[in-house]
Structure 1
Amino acid sequence: MTTTVALIGANGHGRWHRRRIAEIEQAGRVRLVGLADVRPLEPDPPVRDGVLIFEDHRELLAETSPDVVVICTPPHTHLPIALDAIAAGCDLLLEKPPVASLAAHHTLAASLGAAGRACQVGFQALGSQSWREFRDALPRLGKLDGITATASWQRDDVYYARSPWAGKRIVSGRPVIDGALVNPLAHAVMQTLASAQAVGAGRPRQLVAERYRVRPIEVEDTAFARITFDGGLSIVIAVTLAGEDFIAGEIAARGPGGRAVLEYPTDRLALPGDAEMRKVEGRADLLTNLVDHRENGTPLLVPLAVTADFTAVLEALTVPDVPPPHLLDDSAVVIEGPTRTIPGVNDLLRKVVSTMALPSEMGVPWAVPPFTKRLPVT
């Protein structure tokens, strides 16, 4: 029997899910029965005849009774929609970041367990063959000196005008989730945490972070974070949305046995002995994997439990008592129309991940002292 699927949050990034569902539907694995979005549906990609369209996700659930629901709404809305879908008897593909707090994580996990339902989280880079090769190579490097993540992207003023919650911490009295570390570059954080899990580092225990912004938004567009684990391993994340030359996203680990580097958005990989980065083909589709799990018991690639460490870090970055990101002044930022760039930031990102030191520890002129958070047991 074909698995029926509905998508809640069908505009924006939901359009990618619409295209992907259509591809899987053509292969005969699923049948799309409904789409929901609070805004009028964007016409591209076109909607097949027979697919029902709703503004209210609860009406969608009641009228289409889907087997699987893909949730691609603003992150701060995930939990209530997910609980409604579970109550309707659905399995979930939940976009990242999955929930806003560990309390929400535990609530969702308990609801899934009580209902006997499954939840796959949309960290799709964890479904790639390149990730599996990188992960499996880590023990061969010996005791790791550290694991790092680097990315340099550029997001202009239009990006921060894309929705009422973009760049915000609070909208209409409700906390929202945005910022380089927990939304656009959340994959970089998740990949480093998963790498630490793969080498048995234990749980993350301490976060030391510096966060910056180049425009008057409420969240960071540039961030540096060091996370220390039970076993003493540290990971360092250095990312920006105000970058110079593009760095897609690199996860690196080094030890006595050499260095391994994974460019997670492109599935390019270099392991000890490789002369240069090489493309590794093969990326499992998370929705297909969820269907396989329903039909055959295939293990989920990214079950909710795997994301608990990510949620602990997210919570530490977004709780009300965390200081707002430091607004850089004009001396540290170049403004060209809608684009803002931090001169020299790419060199700084590289230096941070090579030394495992944060900008304030290097004496960078515009850097401010970091904040430190103890991370709870997940």
Structure 2
Amino acid sequence: MTTVGLVGANGHGKHHRRRIAQLDGVRLIAVADTQPVEPDPPLPDGVRVFTGHREMLAAAAPDVVIICTPPHTHLAIAEDALRAGADVLLEKPPVRTVDEHHRLMAVLAETGRACQVGFQALGSRAAGLLWDAVAREKVTGIAAVASWQRDDSYYARAPWAGRRSVGGRAVVDGVLVNPLAHAVMQSLATAAAAGAGAPVSVEIERYRTRPIEVDDTAFARFTFAGGLVLVVAATLAGEDFIAGEIIVDGSAGRAVLEYPTDRLALPGESEPRRVEGRTDLLENLIAHRAAAGVPLLSPLSRTLTFTAVLAALTDPALPPPVLVEARERDGVRVIPGINAVLRATARTAVLPSEAAVAWAVPPHRRSLTP
């Protein structure tokens, strides 16, 4: 029996509570949250409730700790859990900076424990098929595109939402590093499968539709050591919904993976098909604990490039995102014509400012050094 402690029992933590209840040989024994634990789903009998993670670690000593707290709190909690002898499932984004990432890697080496990062789409069989395909051909370009909607309540859900700092502490929020971080990670993993090497620079355009401190619409163009270009275009002020697509052009044609739904069209396939099979990251972590020959699907080491990208996209030296005009539609703010701009950017790798989009401003360039 593998015992689990959950730090951050509300919000997305409720998803983990439900998932643990579905797994055989896994038992939730303790939760920690600074707020009262919401009753749905109900905690199993005997689960101990704490207001601090250190008290939980000392009193319950779980085998695995799931950390589902605001990103700027991750490092300290993960260090404490690892040093207490637990393996960790750390929600994305794992940490705020490359220095923090290396610091946590050092604690893993010191303790001999394991850390899985919650990029669950890395466990997708559809993604694996895409990566196998791109490894066999010459890839000429990669893009990611997503168009979601979020209303004002999304930015009222937590004191750090939409903020760059809280109480003097830098926080991590923004469309590409939080709600659509999976689009960035899946496209980086696809570039890695294509043998692109490391990304060496990024050009960033950041926009907002409301009085927040971060972006809700962003465009990023990455250049890799081998010359490959990757473009990510995403918004939370979208028109028609685009769940999230990874688009790969190469010598065999175009492939498209809709990563949230595992729908995949490989070169030569006219329509996407649903590919069943996704390995749960908690199950994978438990299997890794039981047999060292079972590799982690999303180890901390695999996400270093993502952290380097995150640090560039949230660089405190970046000016605030540009305010663009939006229209109210069904209680959300929508940028007129945004989906066409997203699609054009993904298709051409030309940023909105270079395409003379009226509200666009020139990009900021940052070097990437994982």
Q: TM-score, normalised by structure 1?
A: 0.96
Match of 2:95 in 1: 99
* Equivalent in the alignment of 1:296: 291
Partner of 2:32: 36
Instruction: Say if 2:345 is the partner of 1:352.
Output: yes
Map of 1:116-135 to 2, 5 A cutoff?
A: 116-135=112-131
Partner of 2:51: 55
1:324 aligns with 2:323: no
Q: Which amino acid aligns with 1:118?
A: A
Superposition deviation, residue 89 in structure 1 = 0.5
Secondary structure, aligned partner of 1:340: strand
Q: Deviations along 1:340-373, whole A, 9 cap, x unmatched? A: 1001101111110000100000000000111000
CA deviations 1:45-90 (Å, max 9, x no partner) are: 0111100011111110001001100000000000000011011001
What is the aligned partner in structure 1 of residue 184 from structure 2? 189
Task: Write the letter of the residue equivalent to 1:239.
Answer: A
Deviation at 1:275, TM superposition (A): 2.3
- In structure 2, distance between residues paired with 1:139 and 1:196: 9
Q: Which residue of 2 aligns with 1:334?
A: 327
What is the correspondence of 1:137-148 to structure 2 with a 5 Å cutoff?
A: 137-140=133-136, 142-148=137-143
Post-superposition CA distance 1:149-168 (Å, at most 9, x none): 00000000010100000000
- Please say if 1:235 is aligned against 2:246: no
Aligned match of 2:3: 4
TM-score, structure 2 as length reference: 0.98
Deviates more, 1:318-327 or 1:101-110: 318-327
d(CA) in 2 for partners of 1:326 and 1:84? 39
Letter in structure 1 aligned against 2:305: D
In the other structure, the counterpart of 1:23 is 22
What secondary structure sits across from 1:274 in the alignment?
coil
Q: Which amino acid aligns with 2:217?
A: T
Match of 2:109 in 1: 113
| Partner of residue 305, structure 2 | 309
Q: Is the 8 A contact 1:158 1:338 kept in 2?
A: no
**Which residue does the alignment assign to 2:209?**
214
Shift of 1:338: 4.0
Deviation, structure 1 residue 318: 1.3
**SS of 1:114's equivalent?**
helix
- Alignment check: 8 A CA contact 2:135 2:195 kept: no
Residue equivalent to 1:159: 154
Q: In structure 1, what is the Cα distance between the partners aligned to 2:318 and 2:270? A: 43
TM-superposed CA distance for 1:337, in Å, is: 6.8
The 3-state SS of whatever aligns with 1:262 is: strand
Alpha-carbon distance in structure 2 between the residues aligned to 1:352 and 1:316: 20
Q: Could you report, residue by residue, the CA deviation over 1:19-46 in whole angstroms, capped at 9, with x for unpaired residues?
A: 001111xx2x211110111100011101
- Counterpart position of 1:362: 355
Confirm or deny: 8 A CA contact 2:202 2:367 kept in the other structure. Answer: yes
The amino acid that maps onto 1:353 is A
Corresponding residue SS for 2:148: strand
**Aligned-residue identity in percent:** 63
For each residue in 1:98-155, what CA deviation from the matched residue of structure 2 results, as whole angstroms up to 9, or x when unmatched? 0000000000000011100000000000001111011111133x32221100000000
For 1:273 and 1:234, locate their aligned partners in 2 and report how far apart those are by CA, in whole Å.
Answer: 23
Residue 240 of structure 2 aligns to a residue in which SS?
Answer: strand
Cα deviation, residue 336, structure 1: 4.0
Matched position secondary structure for 2:353: helix
> Residue 22 of structure 2 aligns to a residue in which SS?
helix
* Alignment root-mean-square deviation, CA: 0.9
**Aligned amino acid, residue 102 of structure 2:** H
Q: Deviations over 1:292-320 (max 9, x none)?
A: 00001210000001000000010011121
Matched residue of 2:78: which SS?
A: helix
Question: Following the alignment from structure 2 to structure 1, what is the Cα–Cα distance between the partners of residues 315 and 148?
Answer: 25
Question: 2:66 & 2:149 partners in 1: Cα distance?
Answer: 28
Letter in 1 for 2:247: A
Question: Which of 238, 242, 249 is the aligned partner of 2:244?
Answer: 249
Structure 2 distance, partners of 1:318, 1:349, is 21
- Given that residues 147 and 236 in structure 1 are in contact (C-alpha distance below 8 angstroms), is that contact kept between their aligned partners in structure 2? yes
Consecutive aligned runs of 4 or more in structure 1 exceeding 3 Å deviation: none
8 Å contact from structure 2 (residues 139, 249) kept in 1: yes
- The CA distance in 2 between the partners of 1:359 and 1:333, in whole Å, is 16
How many residues align? The count is 369
